[in-house]
């Protein structure tokens, strides 16, 4: 045994040693030395040595109603004591209830859900669904988009660091990322740029596909890309283009869903666009492994072959989902995300005035990011300062995420139930970390 532990379990050093020996070396972890976490409650987590952190990243925007939420725990335990597993070969009231809850808040005519076990699986389901419904097989994604880790999901992902294979799945093309901060068409990026981004999408369809795409898939806010918010009007026009060519609109709400972006339940509702298929995961069930793909009656009926999922729709995960959704609804998560997001954004903008290396502060609701650059004119990504800032946040006892094509974006996405006081504490800690590297 090395080191000491207050929790009476295994020390951080032992866990890190074990991880290095038995887990896949390519697993990305935060910080120079991995951080081991052992317990949590609400927006706080502790390492095995008892050091506390304010969690502003919530396990990648997943712990939507706080760590070890009592209502979610009670629902989980009650269901585990009753019936733990059946597979989708049998019907279960919890799965029906979960689907009903999602349909109640989903936009437009989205009504029928297929439950799986991760965002990646839900993306796979959506892509296959679109191909089955249209009888076509070509897909358009967005550059710098991220959709998961399977063969198909890494193929629609357009971020070289997340594509370990040279040519994963054929028939997938990528249009330009509508990134206002790095808009190639002009600064400030405005509605004329929107038309150019959408022209590019159309050009990709007519030049790099057979002109008959099955679908266009996009995140409403590009999460892994560093919370890139497409300019107003983009989704309306992109939806019009893909539908004009007979394809479907798949919206990936894995990060942006469930009130995260403020005011609405889903990011796409800010733009008044109704997707044909929508994908959810992460915050849907507070950390239970649930992916969900929702679509219309008509598209759902086009899936003619057989399908099952052994673990999808599992009664325990569904109980966790239902309790999470009840918590989000009872605490009016979209409203809280809006208010706490504004609180955070105002503080970040104020810090940006003093630190020009905070090149861009962006996001919506409780999805706020800082892009770190060498200077605001060249906008050259600054990896050195990003690394220092990450270590400084850890030292100050606050957890944030990293993202962006070059890894130079700091991402913030806490529990959607975070209070004003907790957010103020987070801002103070983050501010001190920023001053340390300023």
Ligand X SMILES: Cc1ncc(COP(=O)(O)O)c(C=O)c1O
Segment 320 to 379, residues that bind ligand X, using CB under 6 A: none
Could you tell me if 213 and 248 are in contact, meaning their C-beta atoms sit under 8 angstroms apart?
A: no
The number of residues that bind ligand X (CB under 6 A) is: 16
* Least spacing, CB of residue 46 vs ligand X, in Å: 24
Alpha helices in 65-118 (DSSP H): 70-82, 93-105
Shortest spacing between CB 62 and ligand X, in angstroms: 8
Residue in 204, 281, 348, 373 binding ligand X, rule: CB under 6 A: 281
Beta carbon nearer to ligand X, 144 or 248: 144
State which residue, 149 or 196, has the beta carbon closest to ligand X: 149
Cα–Cα nearest to 414, from 367, 371, 370: 367
Determine the Cα–Cα distance for residues 357 and 79; give it in Å rounded to an integer.
50
What angle (nearest 5°) sits at the alpha carbon of residue 158, between those of residues 156 and 163? 85
Q: Taking the complex as a whole, how short is the minimal distance between the CB of residue 260 and ligand X, in angstroms?
A: 11
Residue 217 to residue 119: CA distance in whole angstroms: 14
Distance from C-alpha of 435 to C-alpha of 119, rounded to nearest angstrom: 36
Binding mask 118-157 for ligand X (x = CB under 6 A): xxx--x----------------------xxxx--------
- Specify the residue, 56 or 433, whose C-beta has the smaller distance to ligand X: 56
Site map (CB under 6 A) of ligand X, residues 222-261, x = contact = -xx---------------------------x-xx------
Q: How far is the CB of 377 from ligand X (least distance, A)?
A: 31
- Smallest separation (angstroms) from ligand X to the CB of 357: 26
**Which lies closer to ligand X via its Cβ, residue 43 or residue 279?**
279
State the nearest-atom distance from the C-beta of 164 to ligand X, in Å.
15
Nearer to ligand X, 156 or 333 (CB): 156
255 vs 220: CA distance, rounded Å: 9
Torsion sign across C-alpha atoms 365, 367, 373, 378: negative
| Residue whose beta carbon is closest to ligand X | 119
DSSP strands (E only) in 205-354: 215-219, 248-252, 277-280, 291-295
Pick between residue 288 and residue 358 the one whose CB is nearest to ligand X: 288
**Near ligand X in 65-124, by CB under 6 A:** 118-120, 123
Instruction: Report the nearest approach of ligand X to the CB of residue 291 (Å).
Output: 6
Q: Where in 33-62 is the site for ligand X (CB under 6 A)? A: 60
C-alpha angle 27/30/35, rounded to 5°?
100
Determine the length of the chain: 438
> Which positions ≥6 away from 359 have C-beta within 8 Å?
181, 371, 372, 373, 376, 379
What are the counts of helices (DSSP H) followed by strands (DSSP E) for the chain?
Answer: 13, 15
Span 173-232, contacts to ligand X by CB under 6 A: 219, 223-224
Contact flags string 287-326 toward ligand X, x per CB under 6 A: ----------------------------------------
DSSP letters spanning 332-400: THHHHHHHHHHHHHHHHHHHHHH-TTEEEEEEETTEEEEEEBS-TTT--B-HHHHHHHHHHHHHHTEE-
Taking the complex as a whole, the smallest distance from the CB of residue 181 to ligand X amounts, in Å, to 19
Minimum distance from residue 119 beta carbon to ligand X (Å) = 2
Nearer to ligand X, 146 or 258 (CB): 146
Q: Which is nearer to ligand X, 284 or 430 (CB)?
A: 284
CA 254 from centroid of its chain's CA atoms = 5
Residue placing its CB nearer to ligand X in the complex, 229 or 351: 229
d(CA 397, CA 219): 31
Quick one: 149 or 331, whose CB is closer to ligand X? 149
Bond preceding residue 188 cis, omega within 30 of 0? yes
Instruction: Give me the least distance between CB of 258 and ligand X, in Å please.
Output: 13
Chain CA centroid to CA 315, Å: 24
Site residues (CB under 6 A) for ligand X? 60, 118-120, 123, 146-149, 219, 223-224, 252, 254-255, 281
């Amino acid at each position: 045994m090395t080191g000491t532990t207050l929790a009476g379990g295994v020390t951080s050093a032992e866990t890190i040693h074990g991880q290095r020996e038995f887990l896949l070396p390519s697993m990305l972890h935060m910080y120079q030395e991995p951080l081991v976490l052992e317990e949590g409650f609400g927006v706080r987590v502790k390492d095995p040595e008892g050091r506390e952190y304010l969690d502003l990243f919530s396990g990648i925007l997943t712990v939507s109603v706080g760590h070890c939420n009592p209502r979610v725990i009670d629902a989980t335990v009650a269901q585990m004591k009753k019936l733990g597993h059946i597979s989708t070969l049998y019907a279960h009231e919890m799965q029906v209830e979960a689907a009903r809850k999602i349909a109640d808040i989903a936009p437009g005519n989205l009504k029928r859900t297929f439950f799986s076990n991760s965002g990646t699986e839900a993306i796979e389901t959506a892509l296959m669904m679109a191909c089955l419904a249209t009888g076509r097989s070509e897909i358009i994604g967005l550059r710098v988009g991220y959709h998961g880790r399977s063969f198909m999901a890494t193929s629609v992902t357009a971020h070289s660091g997340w594509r370990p294979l040279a040519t994963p799945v054929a028939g997938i093309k990528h249009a330009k990322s509508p990134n206002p901060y790095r808009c190639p068409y002009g600064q400030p990026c405005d509605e004329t740029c929107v038309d150019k981004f959408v022209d590019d999408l159309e050009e990709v369809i007519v030049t790099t596909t057979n002109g008959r795409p099955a679908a266009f898939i996009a995140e409403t806010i590009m999460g892994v890309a560093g919370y890139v918010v497409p300019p107003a009007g983009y989704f309306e026009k992109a939806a019009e283009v893909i539908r004009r060519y007979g394809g479907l609109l798949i919206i990936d709400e894995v990060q942006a869903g469930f009130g995260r972006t403020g005011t609405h339940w889903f990011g796409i509702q800010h733009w008044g666009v109704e997707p044909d298929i929508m994908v959810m995961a992460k915050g849907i069930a507070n950390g239970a492994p649930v992916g969900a793909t929702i679509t219309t009656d008509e598209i759902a009926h086009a899936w003619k072959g057989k399908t099952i999922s052994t673990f999808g729709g599992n009664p325990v995960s569904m109980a966790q989902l239902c309790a999470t959704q009840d918590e989000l609804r009872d605490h009016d998560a979209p409203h809280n995300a809006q208010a706490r997001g504004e609180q955070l954004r105002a503080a970040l903008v104020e810090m940006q005035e003093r630190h020009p290396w905070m090149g861009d502060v962006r996001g919506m609701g409780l999805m706020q990011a800082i892009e770190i650059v060498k200077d605001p004119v060249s906008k050259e990504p600054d990896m050195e300062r990003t690394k220092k800032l990450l270590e400084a946040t850890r030292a100050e006892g606050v957890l944030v995420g990293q993202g962006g094509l070059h890894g130079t974006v700091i991402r913030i996405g806490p529990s959607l139930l975070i209070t004003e006081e907790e957010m103020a504490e987070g801002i103070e800690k983050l501010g001190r970390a920023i001053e340390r590297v300023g």
